[in-house]
Amino acid sequence: MEETIDLLVKQVEERKGELIQLLTTLVSYKTPAPPARNSHEAQLYVADFLKNCGFSIDMWDLYSNDPIVVGTLKGQKSADYQSLIINGHMDVAEVQENEKWETNPFEAVVKDNMIIGRGVADMKGGLAGALFAVQLLTEAGIELPGDLIFESVVGEEVGEAGTLQCCQKGYTADFALVADTSDLHIQGQGGVITGWITIKSSKTYHDGTRRSMIHAGGGLLAASAIEKMAKVIGGLQELERHWAVTKSYPGFLPGTNTINPAVIEGGRHAAFIADECRLWITVHYYPNESYDQVSKEVEEYILAIAKADPWLKDNLPTFEWGGTSMIEDRGEIFPSLEIDEGHAGVQLLAHTHEQIEGKKPPIDVSTSVTDGGWLADAGIPAAIYGPGNLANAHAVNEQLDINQLIQYTKVMVQFIYTWLHTHKE
């Protein structure tokens, strides 16, 4: 059987035209998010592809016209052999009309051994390589003893967590591989959570009363919510600096754990003292932290500042964290993913990469975020491993090195076969 797998690995090179065509087809489906709600046809294509490879299909809508596809190929001896989830997202970064693409971003072209098109690096290249690996194993008639689950999700680009729904529906495995942009590094990631901080006065005041609340003898204990939010912003900057000198994580530059005041909204109109102000923040945290932990730290610090203020102590800020969509409710969560280098799946993936590439893969952390955090949050050991680099993700004239796509697909053929033939511990 090892000879058969060796032949399949060689076929990736020999049939690279089919692999490129598969990626070209995926790119041709216009699935940018935003605007989203446009992936139905693309997901039907993946569902049919997996069905032709013997998978049973579960397909449901995350939002209208944006379905999730999960294909399951039951192993011959599921109870005894390791199982695997391959996870990827079909949505791609948005494309604006004024962007200067060399060609139509949804008509992939090959130039100088690079394939150019929206999503080739993030992350339809990873999807294509994984699907082609599955196709080669199926065509060879190889029966896999362990379960293989293929998740093609949507919503990753706008924080809609299609992968979370897969976990909530009970899809699990002994190891999960997220085929997202990693430049063939094996990666974990930090996390991201957004939140809204609101300052709200119980009373409203005409702007003509401002002198009475800011000058000696005015006698009016009141304040502008906008001006008080400036104190909150200052507190967030203090906490951010405190984190920068007290927290660290290997692979991240000091101070990567940031608190960004991204959007501020407040006031009614010019004849009112602002009675409400809302601040939208984005918090980046390290792989060994959780979104519950960091959001609690932010709340405790800001409330301590507010309780020391003569007006804010009676008008304490309130907090709303996370969200299910940057489009629908202006909020998102990306849990962190900490790599366990001693896990058998990580070790096998690294060994397989070394066999194919002739050198060990870097095992490090992504400076971006993926749906891999939701798998880790569900207790599934996981790693990010895919073709493409972050310099091309979301870029105009996004491109992917065809040689890297081929190498990735070879690794996937070997890894899927070997992991699903590995006895459970």
d(CA 127, CA 183): 14
Rounded-to-integer distance, Cα 103 and Cα 96, Å? 14
**Angle (CA) 416 420 424, round 5°:** 140
End-to-end CA separation in angstroms for the chain:
23
Q: Which residue has the tokens 């932290």?
A: 289
Residue 364 known to be catalytic: no
How many CB atoms are located within 10 Å of the residue 13 CB? 13
Given the residues 66, 147, 151, 156, select the one marked as catalytic.
156
Place of tokens 């519950």: 292
Give the residue carrying structure tokens 């952390």.
365
- β-pairing verdict for 191-200 and 333-334: antiparallel
Cα separation, 32 vs 134, whole angstroms: 26
Centre a 10 Å sphere on the Cβ of residue 4 and count the other Cβ atoms it contains.
13
Q: Is 119 exposed, middle or buried (0-12, 13-18, 19+ CB in 10 A)?
A: buried
Q: Which of 150, 179, 189, 188 is nearest to 166 (CA)?
A: 150
Q: Are 165 and 156 in contact (CB under 8 A)?
A: no
Cis bond upstream, residue 213 (ω within 30): no
Residues 47, 177: Cα–Cα separation, whole Å = 19
Of 307, 320, 224, nearest to 281 by C-alpha is: 320
The residue annotated as part of the active site, out of 66, 91, 122, 151, is 91
Q: Rounded distance, CA 355 to CA 347, Å? A: 12
Task: Please state the φ and ψ torsions of residue 86, each to the nearest 5 degrees.
Answer: -110, 125
Please give the Cα distance from 154 to 177 (Å, whole number).
16
Q: Identify whether 425 is a catalytic site residue.
A: no
377 Cβ partners below 8 Å, 6+ apart?
A: 164, 167, 335
Phi/psi of residue 106, each to 5°? -105, 15
Cα separation of 298 and 129, whole Å? Answer: 41
Q: Using the 8-state DSSP alphabet, how is residue 35 labeled? A: T
Residues marked active site are found at 91, 156
